[in-house]
Every structure is written in structure tokens, then in C-alpha cells.
Structure 1
Amino acid sequence: MTDTTPLDPRQLTAYLALKDVAALLEHAVEQQLKEDGGLTTPQFQILATLADAPDGRRRMTDLADGLVYSRSGLTYQAAQLEKAKLVTRASAEDDERSVIVTLTDAGRAVLFKVMPGHIEVVRRLFLTPLGDADIAAITDILGRVRAQMRSAPPRSAKPRRTTGSPPQRGERNNGR
């Protein structure tokens, strides 16, 4: 059963403030990434995720599962990064249907180039007005909200079923 009770004024104010903050921060980050490195936000997320991987590699499905972005959109962004020689894509050795994305030295260099400006934007717009207790509270609060949202993620963020599992109702069995 869905709760459709109208939001009270405090709830509405909190919701609209969150949307405002997210939109303003996203716009500033997108501008900075474009100006400093010619990157989109999803491209930055791909590069940053790969840079955090011990070997600079991830399966495309793992990238898609971690980022809330359509799988086809993520494939397009990875293709653009590959054209720019910032990543490589190849079939996995253990499963030819699976694609491995690997960060290149040029990709690391672009990430290194955009990171100072990225940190500056995040710090200036988001972190500066907050104290340590505020950051701890936001981390806790948004962590709980994220966990709630990820418990029923959009299709782009749903982990894929394991090989051999029958498709769920409404799901295509395309092997990927």
C-alpha cells in the first residue's frame, strides 16, 4: 500500500531544499568537469570508479550496477571515453559476453587534471557551510535514504542476476 498523504510543510521544505541543492551542485560540477577535462558527469564517474579499482578495471555490468545511469547510456559514455583513449574495452577472459573496461594512463591523467577543480567546487558549494557534526549527520541521513532507495533501485541500478538464473517476469533473457 502506498502512502499518498500530502507532505506537511516541513517535509515539503526539506524535499525542495534537497532538490535545489542537488540541482545546483550537479550543474556546477558538470560545468567544472566540462571546462577542465571535457568530461560529462557519467564519464567522470566511470573514470573515478575505475581509478578506485585495485587494477583499474571493472566489468561493464559492475559499473552499471554501481552507477544510476541507463545501461545503454553508460555503454555510450564508455564508448566516448574509449574514442578519447581514456579507457579500453575488451571481452572478459572468463566470459566473452562480458566486457571489461580498463582505465588508461591518459584516463588517469584527465582524472588527475579535473580532480582539483572538482574538489574545489564540492568544498566551496557543499562542504564549507557545514561543520563536522553537520557532515556526520548528513552522511548518516543520506546513507539511510540511499539504502532505502537502493533496496528497490531503478532498473539501471539493479544488480544483474547471476548466469543461469531464469529471467524474472517482464525481464528479457539476452544473456547480458
Structure 2
Amino acid sequence: MTTPPPLDAVQLSGYLALIEASSLLKHAVEQQLRVAGELTYVQFQLLATLGDSPAGSRRMTDLADGVVYSRSGLTYQAQTLEQRGLITRAQSPDDERSTTVTLSDAGRAVLADVFPGHIALVHEMLFAPLSRSDIETLADILGRVRDHMRRSAPRSAAPRRRSGRAGSPG
């Protein structure tokens, strides 16, 4: 395998700016979500994804792929949301091995409470310093990068690792 060339100054600057901007935005969003709806970032992603689905339902595997989260982590987050009455989980009618997650009326109400502040924060932090043309360019560039990254299998599709504890099989 050949060693890739080092990042040039412009590539490094762009990469570091993306990482820092992403971290700053995510931190602010997490604080807003916690205050407005007692939600984690991933819980909000799950509720928003369900809210954006025509039926308000998705398979757990599809949710994990969409939010790029591990199966076990997603299961924990879903359990927490279910205990709060924000979602329901049931065996999929199409595949007995799958679980379908559905947004409840209480979940829709939490989204309705959280969204105004969330949208205002995204406008303020991300879009305020940009022109409409900048936003269109940003959406195009990030869309292409995302699509390139999505060409590899999502994490939830990766084979599960077995425990390597002593005394246990495989």
C-alpha cells in the first residue's frame, strides 16, 4: 500500500476548520436540546428522522445507518426514548428479525417544542455569516463529501465483534 501524500496547507486548514466548526456547532446544539427537550444529540436525530418519515416509523437498522450510530448505542437511546413515551418499538410486520420504531404523539410534541430554538441556533451559528450563494455551495460540497463517504458500508452493517473474554467461546 502506498503512503498518501501529506495534506497541503489549504487542505489542512480546510480540514481543521471543518472539525472545529462541527465541534462548536454540535456543542451548542447539544446544550440547546438538553435545555429545550432534555434530549441528547442522538436522541434528537432519532426523533427528527422519525418525524421526517411519512409514516413516522423506521426500522432500527435504517435508523442506525442514518444517524451513523452503533446498534447497541442506538438500542440504549431508543430504550430511553421509549421509557419517556416519545417512541414505541415493535417487531416489524415485514421481517420478524427487525424492530420498527415509531414516533409517538408525545415525541411529536417534544420535537415541536425543540425545533424553534434548534432552527434559530442553526441559523445564528452556521448560516448567519454566509451569503445565499455560500450556503448553496456549502450544501453542494458537503453533500458530495457525504455521498462519497456513504459509498462504504454503514457502521451498523459491519459484522459484530465477538467478546474475547477468557473462558468464553469465540
Output the TM-score relative to the length of structure 2. Answer: 0.89
User: Does 2:17 match 1:13?
Assistant: no
RMSD over aligned CA atoms reads: 1.5
The residue correspondences of 1:83-94 to structure 2 (distance < 5 A) are 83-94=83-94
SS at match of 2:106: helix
Matched residue SS, 1:97: coil
| 1:29 is aligned to 2:38 | no
Of stretches 6-15 and 22-31 in structure 1, the one that deviates more from structure 2 is 6-15
Which one-letter code corresponds to 2:71 in the other structure?
A: R
Count of paired positions: 160
Q: How does 1:1-176 map to 2 (within 5 A)?
A: 1=1, 3-156=3-156, 158=157, 171=159
- Higher deviation after alignment, 89-98 or 109-118: 89-98
Deviations 1:25-49 (A, max 9, x none): 0000000000100000110011011
**Residues 33, 44 of structure 2: 8 Å contact kept:** yes
Distance 1:151 1:94, change over 3 A: closer
Amino acid of the residue matched to residue 145 of structure 1? V
SS, match of residue 5 in structure 1: coil
Deviations 1:84-106 (A, max 9, x none): 00000011123222111010000
- CA distance in structure 2 between the partners assigned to 1:130 and 1:122 by the alignment: 12
Contact 2:65 2:154 in 1 (8 A): no
C-alpha distance 4-48 of structure 1, shift in aligned 2 (>3 A): same
Q: Match of 2:46, SS? A: helix
| Divergent runs of 4+, >3 A | none
AA aligned opposite 1:69: Y
Paired-residue identity, %: 61
Q: Distance in 1 between matches of 2:98 and 2:116?
A: 34
Displacement of 1:2 after TM fit? 5.1
Deviation of 1:148 (Å): 1.2
Q: Distance in 2 between matches of 1:63 and 1:127?
A: 27
Q: Which runs of 5+ in 2 are unaligned?
A: 161-170
Gaps of 5+ in 1: 161-170
**SS of match in other structure, 1:90:** strand
Higher mean C-alpha displacement, 62-71 vs 108-117: 62-71
Residues 70 and 2 of structure 1, relative CA distance in 2, 3 Å threshold: farther
Give the AA of the match of 1:106. A
**Whole-angstrom distance in 1 between the partners of 2:99 and 2:127:** 37
CA distance 1:139–1:150, shift in 2 (3 Å): same
CA distance in 2, matches of 1:41, 1:153: 23
